[in-house]
Amino acid sequence: MKIIMTFVFLLSLNSAICQNENCINEGKIEFVKTTNLHFVMEGDYFTEEITDKYPKFIKSKFTLYFNSKESLFKPDIENTSQILPIELNDLDMVYLNLNDTAFRVTKRFYQTRLQILGKAIEIKWRITNEKKYIAGFECTRANGIYRDSIYTVAFFCSEITPPLGPLTFHGLPGMILGISLPSLHTSWYATRVYNTTIEKNTFNNKNDIPEMSILEYNKKVIESLQTWHGNVYWYLNSMKM
């Protein structure tokens, strides 16, 4: 009930702030995810000679479809063409329902397709006075702690009213157009915003893949550590939910 009331408050706050015709309540946003691949490859397995064969930064494209009630964060087909020595979560498709913050993630995990159901992690945000333009929109900075220990920097735009963002990041009075996890050397930034109507069936990402809980999935992540050859810190904090 507390979570639902929080979102009702955020949506009401946004409506109060954004009373002009330029406010966006529905549409799609193109994002680019940037990952420091050399950081992810740190460890005893990959030698410097091997690491240097790959670019330091890898960019992946995603599209966020949204309305006032739900969102779908979908990977671009181009992400499948990247030949990398290590898994980067760049094929995850994430559905989030704002009413109860329930999510559904469809992902590839060591060549296996998985579907994970759960509730999005609540982040305690601290809004600052810092401003930044992203994809042509003025955004405000907010700092938070993700999973109790991961420092998170987000930039949200009150002109785009749903309190959503990439993946399951949410909870600010406006759309998150930029988010960075410095300790994981990973960020997501919007490149273009479309104010357009999204068909209801766009958000239907249900499929025949067997469902599992967050607990079951995280157990698989821990068990797979013995086959992981890169940075253990990145793996545990990027792969777990």
pLDDT at 10 exceeding the cut of 60: no
Strands laid side by side in the 57-66 sheet: 126-134, 137-146, 150-157, 175-181, 186-195, 27-36, 57-66, 70-75, 93-97, 102-109, 112-119, 211-213
Q: In this predicted structure, what is the pLDDT of residue 81?
A: 66
Average pLDDT, the chain: 90
Whole-number Å distance between alpha carbons of 92 and 8: 28
* CA distance readout (Å), 126 to 54, 143, 202: 37, 5, 33
Does the structure show a pLDDT above 90 at 126? yes
93 within 8 A of 72, measured Cβ to Cβ: yes
Q: Which residue has the tokens 């329902």?
A: 97
Model confidence band, residue 19 (pLDDT cutoffs 50, 70, 90): low
Side-chain half-sphere CA neighbours of 116 within 13 A: 24
Decide: 143 and 169 in contact? Cβ < 8 Å. no
Give the CATH number for residue 136. Answer: 2.50.20.10
Q: Please provide residue 158's backbone torsions phi and psi, each rounded to the nearest 5 degrees.
A: -75, -15
Q: Does pLDDT of 31 surpass 90? A: yes
Average pLDDT (17-21) is 59
* CA–CA gap between residue 47 and residue 71 (Å, rounded): 40
pLDDT > 70 in the chain, percent: 90
- Is residue 109 packed enough to be buried (19+ CB in 10 Å), middle (13-18) or exposed (0-12)? middle
pLDDT confidence bin for 208, thresholds 50/70/90: confident
* Secondary structure (3-state) at 14: helix
Please determine, for residue 34, whether its predicted confidence score (pLDDT) is greater than 50: yes
**In contact, 43 and 12? CB cutoff 8 Å:** no
The reported pLDDT for the residue numbered 155 is 98
Average pLDDT of the residues in 225-234: 92
- Answer yes or no: are the C-beta atoms of 55 and 37 closer than 8 Å: yes
Q: What is the extent of the structural domain holding 150?
A: 2-239
pLDDT tens for 137-147 read 999 999 999 99
Provide the number of structural domains found in the chain. Answer: 1
Confidence tier at 230 by pLDDT (50, 70, 90): very high
State mean pLDDT over 171-190.
Answer: 98
Question: What is d(CA 94, CA 75) in angstroms, rounded to the nearest whole number?
Answer: 9
Residue 1, pLDDT > 50, answer no
Share of the chain above pLDDT 90, in %: 73
Q: Which of 160, 187, 189, 193 is nearest to 175 (CA)?
A: 160
Question: 68-116, pLDDT tens digit by residue?
Answer: 999 999 999 877 767 778 878 888 999 999 999 999 999 988 888 999 9
Specify the pLDDT at position 16: 45
